[in-house]
Amino acid sequence: MLVINRFWRGVLPARRRMRIAALCFGLLWVGYVGLARADDADLIVFNGKIATVDGKNAMVEAMAIKNDLVMALGKNEDMLKLAGSQTKKLDVKGRTVLPGIVDPHWHLANFMPEDFPEAAGIAVPLSKDRNEVKRGIESAINKKVKEAKPGEWILVYPMGDEARKLILFEEITRADLDRLAPNHPVMLNEVGTGPNSQVLLNSKGREVVERDFPGLKRFSDRDIKGLGTDLTQVVIKDVVLKGRDEDYARSLKRYLIENVPPSGITSTGSRIVRTPLNAFAILDRKGELPVRFGWFYGESAYFDPPGFYKRFPNLAGNGSKYFYNIGVGEELTDSPATGLCTTAPIKNPELEERFKKAHIDPCFLDNPEMRATVKDQLQYGRPVEYHNGGDKSIDILLEIIDEIRRETGMTVEQIREKRITMEHLLMVRQDQIPRLKEYGIIMTAANFHMTNQLDPLWPSNIRQNYGVEYVKWHQPLKSLLDGGVHTVIAEVMGSPFSAIQTFVTRETCFTPRLPGQGEMGVENCVVIGPEQKIDRVSALKMLTIWSAYYLFKEKEVGSLEPGKFADFAVLNKDYFTVPDKEIGNIKVLLTVLGGKAVYASPDFGSVDKTLFKSPEYFGKAALAPLQ
């Protein structure tokens, strides 16, 4: 030490000694600050009314976030003590903050139409004259044949109920399409009257699709004509756009950014086909997803060979923090747009005649091929998204579960662990509720089906087609909750607060847009099943923590608790005090995913640029200058 001291004072000039001392002090300070930052929050959200939706439904003023997780919650002064020199602070100015909305059934795997003009197809105008619609279809195909390259797909989209009847009643057939375009694959898909619209392929079209999906060979044109949504997804995304994964990923990303964060949704799930699945995987690898997405494989019986689900691995719950599997399933076990599989007798003779003329059995699960596939899914995987249009669909599913238990010795607890889900709840009988609870089946409500109860064109209009006495079976949420059935809300289509208002008030409104729906442009509002109203706290849980259970992610999302992802939405109105009939007017001002903003309304006020996940999410936000 003496030698060092002599060298320090006697050899080194004073100015150099000062520089070295300053450098050492700086290094020590940097080390000290680095240690301090390890315990500092990345973001403090304060001055808010934060609904944790935890087990106690606690409300807090502030929240600290670290490494995309909630670090702590509590009072403003306590949370602000966790801030360091690099901590961002977000003053929400007394607004309500909710956990990110979890919608477990929202078909999101879409693209921006302008990116893929080859998938746009040809629209045929709406008409009340069925022959005029048929002539329009023929004219569209003839015109496209003259323009199309050899082997190019011809996609035609006639609109309305008359177009539906053409396919439904087989007044236009595969032979007609073959005559018009023998050398081109053709898909005719009626649109505008429901999600599962009617579809028809010509021989070349079936040949092309069956090359990749040989399971389709087992089904006739009559079997598949009600597969509008599913078959259209496969044709467009996995056949027409086959091999375009990177292009699809770029388009999908733009679609998601524009449609998901503005609604406050931070987690969702749906069935998906190959090309979008690959696109989601690409975005996940790049860290570019604006939502947590739980996918399930669900084309099943119509496209997969027998025994497929005995070999398909059970991946439920596996994946990354943004992209993970939630199971396998078969959405079209019952189609509300085709007709309800119900024990209620048909009251409307027109609907009964339609079923006979169109050779429709609305109980799709009665098809042996479908039943065998669903049985495999139930036995070997985590089965999700079975449609419950009518009550008989529930009976058939319960029968299949009982059959599996008799054959395999599977216990009730083993069934419950699968967290089987059924969607839509158009008709649920009171006597079915105890068995739904016993098997732990998750029941999923969708508010737009209440609106469809006012549409005369919908076969699932219960009052019109089955009788007013059966309306009490429609989405009986209070009875399900009282009976201990795990019930959630889904398919909110970007409007979660409108969906909540519908189930809290049981009031739904419908404005006719098509001929046959009523007086065009005149809104009609009614209350359906007022005894089934639910409170807004339960409704919130049905779109957050209870829906997270559906996605196998209740330990990660759905509530704001230490250790969970910091996914939340800031609202323009107080969800807990606004009048029931104004819940639907609530707007999302800010959406945060893992502690990073993915959407900000200019009405929120200035937001620090560095708070955003990337500049891609700036949108119309009022940006604060960098500090």
Indicate whether 392 and 278 sit together in one domain: yes
Instruction: Give the model's confidence band at 406: pLDDT under 50 very low, under 70 low, under 90 confident, else very high.
Output: very high
Q: What's the pLDDT score for residue 176? A: 97
Closest C-alpha among 211, 524, 193, 483 to residue 338: 193
pLDDT of 100 higher than 90 = yes
Q: What's the pLDDT score for residue 31? A: 41
pLDDT of 524 higher than 70 = yes
- Number of independent structural domains in the chain: 4
pLDDT of 30 higher than 50 = no
Specify the DSSP element, H or E, that contains 124. Answer: strand 122-124
| CATH number of 576's domain | 2.30.40.10
Place of tokens 């029941």: 443
Note the pLDDT tens digit of each residue in 282-313.
Answer: 999 999 999 999 999 876 677 887 888 899 88
Neighbours of 582 (CB within 10 A): 11
103 in a domain, yes or no? Answer: no
pLDDT of 10 higher than 60 = no
Closest C-alpha among 59, 40, 43 to residue 51: 59
Instruction: Give the model's confidence band at 27: pLDDT under 50 very low, under 70 low, under 90 confident, else very high.
Output: very low
User: Cα torsion for 294, 297, 298, 304, to the nearest 10°?
Assistant: 180
172 in a domain, yes or no? Answer: yes
Residue pair 281/293 in contact (Cβ under 8 Å)? The answer is no
104 in a domain, yes or no? Answer: no
Longest dimension (CA), the chain: 111
100 in a domain, yes or no? Answer: no
Cα(148)–Cα(127) distance, integer angstroms: 26
Residue type, 482: D
Q: What's the pLDDT score for residue 300? A: 63
Instruction: Give the model's confidence band at 8: pLDDT under 50 very low, under 70 low, under 90 confident, else very high.
Output: very low
Note the pLDDT tens digit of each residue in 362-401.
Answer: 888 888 888 998 999 999 999 998 988 899 999 999 999 9
Indicate whether 153 and 193 sit together in one domain: yes
pLDDT of 228 higher than 80 = no
Q: What's the pLDDT score for residue 215? A: 86
Cα(232)–Cα(120) distance, integer angstroms: 12
Cα(107)–Cα(610) distance, integer angstroms: 31
pLDDT of 6 higher than 70 = no
| CATH number of 336's domain | 3.20.20.140
Question: Average of pLDDT values for 91-118?
Answer: 94
Q: 189-203, 246-260, 358-372, 567-581 — which is least confidently predicted?
A: 189-203
Collect all residues with Cβ–Cβ distance below 8 Å to 329 and sequence separation of at least 6. Answer: 271, 296, 297, 298, 300, 377, 383, 384, 385, 386, 421
Q: Which two tokens stand for residue 532?
A: 């089934």
Indicate whether 227 and 252 sit together in one domain: no
Note the pLDDT tens digit of each residue in 466-512.
Answer: 999 999 999 999 999 999 999 999 999 889 999 999 999 999 999 98
Domain boundary among 192, 215, 240: 240
Q: What's the pLDDT score for residue 196? A: 54
Indicate whether 565 and 540 sit together in one domain: no
Question: Average of pLDDT values for 352-364?
Answer: 87
Cα(576)–Cα(516) distance, integer angstroms: 40
SS3 159: strand
Q: What's the pLDDT score for residue 226? A: 75
Indicate whether 161 and 290 sit together in one domain: no
Residue with the larger pLDDT of the pair 143 and 232: 143
67 in a domain, yes or no? Answer: yes
Structural domain harbouring 155: 117-240
Percent of the chain with pLDDT over 90: 71
568-571/96-99 β-pairing: antiparallel
pLDDT of 347 higher than 70 = yes
Give the E-state strand segments of 350-420 in sequence order: 383-384, 386-387
Instruction: Give the model's confidence band at 128: pLDDT under 50 very low, under 70 low, under 90 confident, else very high.
Output: confident
Q: If 0-12 CB within 10 Å is exposed, 13-18 middle and 19+ buried, where does residue 106 land?
A: buried
Indicate whether 414 and 452 sit together in one domain: yes
99 in a domain, yes or no? Answer: no
Note the pLDDT tens digit of each residue in 39-63.
Answer: 899 999 999 999 999 999 999 999 9
Indicate whether 18 and 48 sit together in one domain: no
Cα(511)–Cα(491) distance, integer angstroms: 20
Question: Average of pLDDT values for 436-443?
Answer: 98
Q: What's the pLDDT score for residue 355? A: 87
Domain boundary among 191, 211, 240: 240
Q: What's the pLDDT score for residue 18? A: 52
Domain boundary among 550, 582, 611: 550
224 in a domain, yes or no? Answer: yes
Residue pair 560/54 in contact (Cβ under 8 Å)? The answer is yes
pLDDT of 233 higher than 90 = no
Indicate whether 289 and 367 sit together in one domain: yes
Closest C-alpha among 508, 497, 506, 499 to residue 533: 506
Q: What's the pLDDT score for residue 2? A: 43
Q: What's the pLDDT score for residue 473? A: 97
Question: Average of pLDDT values for 509-534?
Answer: 91
Collect all residues with Cβ–Cβ distance below 8 Å to 528 and sequence separation of at least 6. Answer: 450, 453, 471, 474, 506, 507, 508
Q: If 0-12 CB within 10 Å is exposed, 13-18 middle and 19+ buried, where does residue 189 land?
A: buried
SS3 111: coil
Indicate whether 361 and 218 sit together in one domain: no
Neighbours of 378 (CB within 10 A): 23
Indicate whether 303 and 376 sit together in one domain: yes
65 in a domain, yes or no? Answer: yes
Indicate whether 390 and 528 sit together in one domain: yes
Dump the DSSP string for 498-564: HHHHHHHH-EEEE---STTSSSTT--EEEE--GGG---HHHHHHHTTHHHHHHTT-TTTSSS--TTS
pLDDT of 1 higher than 90 = no
To the nearest whole number, what is the mean pLDDT of the chain?
A: 90
Indicate whether 280 and 334 sit together in one domain: yes
